Each structure stands twice: as C-alpha cells, then as structure tokens.
Structure 1
Amino acid sequence: MPATPDALDRRAALKARHRQAIVAAAAALMDERGSARFSVDELAARADVSRRTVFNHFATLDDVVIAAASTILGDVVDELGARAGAAGPDADVLDQMAAATRAEHLVPLMARLVRMLGGESGAGTTLPAREAALVQRTFALLDERLTATMVGHHAELDDLAVELLVVAFMAGALMLFRHWYAATGAVDDARSRRLWDELQGHLVDLLRHGQGAPQDAR
C-alpha cells in the first residue's frame, strides 16, 4: 500500500531532524575537543541516533565534519559575501573579492577553521593531511557561496566570466592560505594579518596584470 502524503511528510521531517542532530553533534564535539577527530560511535551517541542513521545521511565522517563546519561558519561566509557587495559602486569583481577577503575579515575565519579541525598553532607547524583536505573542501564551499553572490552583484557581466574570476581568486587564496599557515600557524595577530594582506595584494595584482604585476603594489 503506497504511503500517504502525511506519512511521507512525517518521514521527511524525521529525516531532517536526524540530519540536523548529527550535524549539531559533530559541531559540539569539534568545539569541545578543538579537533575533527571523533568516531562514528561517539557521534551517533551524541546525536542519539544509530550508526546506520549516520551513514544514511553522510557517506563518510569527513562529510559530517564539512557539514558541521559549514553550519558553524555559515554566518561568517554570508558576511564575506555582503562585504564583497559593499566595496563600492565602481568596484569590479577583483575589487569586491579583495574587499571580502581582507585580513580583518578572513584571518579570524581561517584561524577558527584551523582550530575547529584540530590544527596546531604556531609558526612552522604543518597542517596534517586530513585537516588540510578538510580546509580545501571548506574553501570550495566558500568559493561556491561567493560565486553565487558575485554573479548576483554583476548581472551586467557574463556569468561564466564572473565565475572564472571568482574560482581563480579562490584557488589562489587557498594557495596563499598554505603559505600563511606555514608562516604563522594560523595565529590571529597583527603580524599574521599584515602578512595575509600582503599575500592577498600580490594575488590581486597577478590576476589583474598577469606576470607583469608590480611587486610593490598593494
């Protein structure tokens, strides 16, 4: 006998509640431990669901971590998109991306992300392989959200052109993150912010002018 609409609605609502409980449990574990390293059993117990329910919603534990990071950082990501749109009426795509990712906005976000994923603080440290992969996936999420925002801000431009600029910028920003992390260990202080702005300025110059970008232009 086919399920009734009410039964389907209840099933969908239960599925949504389970997913929300799993993501919330992962976020709580990450905040408590300062690490994304926990077992499926620990996650299931915290969410009050079975192991099977966890894997009904997520293919891997890392997928849960990314969803939790997305939830925790969602408001900040949205704020970055809003700052891109506030760069000024004459700002082009690169100007807006630069405005959104200045150190004062992005360094606290990156420092928090590293802490959430269990990276060590201090210059000269190396982000473990799993955590580095999670950071890369989170940058991809940021890329996706900012791309949608920037396309909306530039209706007069070809969508593909805007998307290519944003993707190129964010790919460069991920490379800058690796240099910044190696130099600062994701510490949020004046030196760390100054270094990020210097790196970001060079990226903007390179994308705008190519290999002929002035080295001292910031």
Structure 2
Amino acid sequence: MTEPSTDRRVALKARHRQAIVDAAAALIAETGGLRFTIDDLARRADVSRRTVFNHFASVDDIVAEVFGDVIGTLVASYERESAASPAAPGTDVDGRAVVFGELDRAVRSTDLVAPMAFLTQSLRSHDEHSPAIATVLLRVLDAARGRLAAAVLARHPRADVLDVHLLVNAVVSGVLVLHRHWDAATGAVDDEPSRAVWAALVDRLLDRTGHGFAADHPATT
C-alpha cells in the first residue's frame, strides 16, 4: 500500500523540480538575465519559496540545470552522428580513431554558440565581475562530460575505458578553454562573425586533440 504513495511523492517531486527549471528558463529569457527574485521564480513555477530551496541550494544550481539541459544536446548530437556514420568494414569499431571521429562530428554539428552566448550574457547582466560564468559553465560541462562518456561506452562496450574518459575529458575541457578565448574575442554575442571565431577555435581544439587519439596504436605501459 505504501508503494503507490511513494511513487506519487517521487512523481510530484520531479514535477516540482522541472517546473522550477522551466520557470527559471522562461524568466531568464524574459528579463534578459537573472533579473528576478526567488519569489518571482516560485510564483512562476506555482510552488512555495521553501519548495524551491528544497530542490536547489542556490540560484547558481538552478541556472546550471537550465543550461545543462541546453548544452546536453551535445550527447544527442553524438548519438545521432555516430549512428549516421558507421565505421568502414574491417575497421576496429571500438578503436580510438572511430571514437574520436564520432566525437569530432558531434562537436562540430552541435550549436554551442547559442546556449553559451545566452548563458554568458545572462550571468554577466547579473554581475559583470562575478566568477559565476566560469563556475556555472564548468558545472554544466562537467555533467555533460559524464553523460557523453556513458554514451560512448554504451555504443562501444569493448573500447578502452580509460581512453574514452581521457578523450571525452580532453574535448569537453577544451570547450571550456575555447569559451574563454571566444568570449574575449567576441563579447559572447551570437552572430555570424562570432560563430566564425568559434568554428575556428573548434578546428584547433579537434586538430590538437586528434593527434593523440585519431590514430590507433598500442598503448604504452
């Protein structure tokens, strides 16, 4: 008799959490940043202020989840691109070259400029001198790193686990480094010149990373 009640509580908790995240995304878009209070957020989500803090310890936690959903499209891009481009016959389908090629295509095909511009401008409007931009982006990308590594290993169960984690870490951490250079060069705007800068930076990241992972050779011990 207790299981249905527990299930309802779990479902209600999940609905409340998603309502808060959806409300935060809407308010960020409407106000052009973090120009809203926890009370505004609670009203928009139709929950109490206490419920907001039961789910999230801070506004940064909420923002990280909002943008985690957006940047999480990298995982979907990986799954789509890897399924659409099977390895050639005779290729080691779980080899580093194949895995790197799939990640290369996923990063190039994912629109990271729009969510990064939105995130950067939103947080900067809240406090231009706050380190929150890098902190939140790091948290978002860290979550994406775990999800992406899991997706790669699910597709390539015979791949070397350490190689997969090293590769995913190199690519995702590289995106964080690129963000700093891209922001400094473009002001984190979303326009064609900014996208050209981002594309050139991505080319450099994948070129440098590819030298270590795009060729299959015995690992040294």
Shared fold per TM-score greater than 0.5:
yes
Residues 106-141 of structure 1 show CA distances to partners (whole Å, capped at 9, x for unaligned) of: 3334334334x3447xxxxx7842122212222222
Shift of residue 175 of structure 1?
Answer: 0.3
Matched to 2:77, the amino acid is L
In the alignment, which residue of structure 2 is the partner of 1:213?
none
**CA contact under 8 A between 2:74 and 2:110: conserved in structure 1?**
no
In the alignment, which residue of structure 2 is the partner of 1:80?
77
Question: Distance between the aligned counterparts of 2:100 and 2:124, measured in 1?
Answer: 30
The answer to whether structure 1 residue 51 and structure 2 residue 46 are counterparts is no
Question: Distance between the aligned counterparts of 2:8 and 2:16, measured in 1?
Answer: 12
Q: Which runs of 5+ in 2 are unaligned?
A: 89-96, 213-221
Shift of residue 73 of structure 1?
Answer: 4.8
1:132–1:208 CA distance, 2 compared to 1 (3 A): same
- Tell me the percent identity: 45
The answer to whether structure 1 residue 107 and structure 2 residue 113 are counterparts is yes
Shift of residue 184 of structure 1?
Answer: 1.1
TM-score, structure 1 length as denominator?
A: 0.77
Shift of residue 29 of structure 1?
Answer: 0.9
How do 1:1-218 residues align onto structure 2 when only pairs under 5 Å count? Answer: 4-74=2-72, 76-85=73-82, 86-89=84-87, 92-102=98-108, 105-115=111-121, 117-119=122-124, 128-209=130-211
Q: Secondary structure at the match of 2:112?
A: helix
Matched to 2:98, the amino acid is D
**CA contact under 8 A between 1:103 and 1:194: conserved in structure 2?**
no
Question: Distance between the aligned counterparts of 2:190 and 2:51, measured in 1?
Answer: 38
Question: Distance between the aligned counterparts of 1:195 and 1:207, measured in 2?
Answer: 18
Cα RMSD after superposing both structures = 2.7
**CA contact under 8 A between 1:25 and 1:43: conserved in structure 2?**
yes
TM-score, structure 2 length as denominator?
A: 0.76
Question: Distance between the aligned counterparts of 1:156 and 1:48, measured in 2?
Answer: 47
